[in-house]
């Protein structure tokens, strides 16, 4: 057995690929910053500028300084996985076995990251609530109210939107036959299960109780990276081990484009 034959870069890439396939909330967040991460604790700068004034023209022009409206996202969450195998070389030579192990590891890591992002509903700048928010026969009204509040905050009516609901709400939506919407299904966001009234619809078990979320695809920033994967010989077992370190961070970037939707289910 030769631990040095372990291929960390290959398995790190496969693990990250599996993660991105499994995520729900990371699908609706802006994750373009992930490539900038090299270690836990890294801070990613998300660029932006303030509003530009529009003035009456009277023959003279005054130039204003652009205001820096950038924000920082700190990668402050760390999770790891570690499992035993009888022989790393044998496991690597059987791609199905190692892929299955990495897939199971990615499910666990993904679940933790999605729970973290789901908890950002507390930073939403908009809210929709009522005693029958997502009860059958009221789903259309809730989506319409959510979209109205976004439009009142100057979110363009044609901007792609998402909504993540819990399974009970999804059941109400099915009963309400919203899934028969005439939206262009081929234009849905990756991982969405259907589209309705301008929202790409996702389902997650990681939402807080009686909470659903909606927003634009730029409302939340998310960054993730598999920092380490390595194989080692276990001293107390006749076995090898594979372990990896996963780091991530998330932040509400535009709270006026994120909606906390409370339901009564």
Q: What residues does each domain of the chain span?
A: 3-48+68-119+220-250, 124-219+256-262
Q: Which burial class, exposed, middle or buried, applies to 146 when counting CB atoms under 10 A from its CB (0-12, 13-18, 19+)?
A: buried
Q: Which burial class, exposed, middle or buried, applies to 62 when counting CB atoms under 10 A from its CB (0-12, 13-18, 19+)?
A: exposed
Task: Tell me the C-alpha distance between 80 and 13, whole Å.
Answer: 16
Q: Is the pLDDT of residue 1 over 50?
A: no
- More confidently predicted of 66 and 153: 153
List, in sequence order, every residue forming a beta bridge with 74; answer none if it has no partner: 43
> What does CATH list as the number for 124-219+256-262?
3.30.2320.10
- The dihedral through the CA atoms of 75, 78, 123, 29 has a sign that is positive
Tokens 């022989």 map to which residue?
87
**Could you give phi then psi for residue 144, rounded to 5 degrees?**
-65, -45
Q: Which burial class, exposed, middle or buried, applies to 119 when counting CB atoms under 10 A from its CB (0-12, 13-18, 19+)?
A: middle
**Residue 25 · residue 221 · CB < 8 Å:** no
- In the chain, % of residues over pLDDT 70: 89
Q: Is the pLDDT of residue 28 over 90?
A: yes
Question: What mean pLDDT, rounded, does the chain reach?
Answer: 83
**pLDDT per residue as tens digits for the range 86-141:** 777 677 776 677 778 888 888 899 999 999 999 999 999 999 987 678 877 778 88
Say which DSSP state 175 is in: H
**What pLDDT band is residue 180 in, cutting at 50, 70 and 90?**
low
Which residues are CB-neighbours of 94 under 8 A, at least 6 positions away? none
What HEC string does 74-120 produce?
ECCEEEEEEEEECCHHHHHHCHHHHHHHHHHHHHHHHHHHHHHHHHH
Predicted structure pTM score:
0.81
Q: Is the pLDDT of residue 64 over 70?
A: yes
* Ranges of H-type helices in the chain: 8-22, 25-28, 88-93, 95-118, 139-152, 167-175
CB atoms within 10 A of CB 264: 13
pLDDT score of 37: 74
3 state DSSP class of 209: coil
3 state DSSP class of 141: helix
């Amino acid at each position: 057995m030769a631990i040095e034959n372990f291929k960390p870069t290959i398995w790190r890439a496969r693990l990250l690929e599996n993660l991105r396939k499994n995520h729900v909330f990371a699908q609706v967040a802006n994750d373009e910053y992930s490539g900038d991460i090299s270690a836990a604790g890294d801070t990613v700068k998300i660029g932006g500028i303030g509003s530009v004034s529009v003035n009456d023209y009277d023959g003279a022009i005054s130039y204003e300084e652009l205001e820096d409206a950038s924000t920082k996202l700190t990668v402050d969450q760390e999770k790891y996985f570690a499992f035993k195998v009888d022989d790393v070389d044998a496991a690597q030579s059987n791609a199905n076995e190692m892929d299955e192990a990495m897939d199971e590891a990615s499910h666990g890591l993904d679940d933790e990251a999605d729970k973290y992002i789901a908890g950002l509903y507390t930073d939403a700048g908009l809210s929709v609530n009522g005693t029958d928010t997502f009860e059958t026969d009221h789903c259309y009204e809730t989506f319409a109210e959510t979209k109205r509040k976004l439009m009142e905050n100057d979110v363009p009516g044609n901007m792609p939107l998402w909504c993540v609901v819990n399974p009970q709400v999804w059941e109400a939506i099915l009963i309400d036959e919203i899934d028969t919407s005439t939206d262009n299904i081929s234009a849905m966001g990756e991982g969405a299960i259907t589209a309705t009234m301008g929202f790409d619809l996702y389902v997650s078990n990681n939402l807080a109780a009686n909470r659903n979320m909606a927003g634009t695809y730029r409302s939340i920033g998310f960054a993730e990276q598999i920092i380490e994967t390595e194989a080692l010989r276990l001293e107390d077992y006749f076995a090898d081990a594979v372990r990896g370190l996963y780091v991530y961070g998330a932040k509400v970037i535009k709270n006026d484009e994120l909606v906390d939707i409370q339901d009564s289910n």
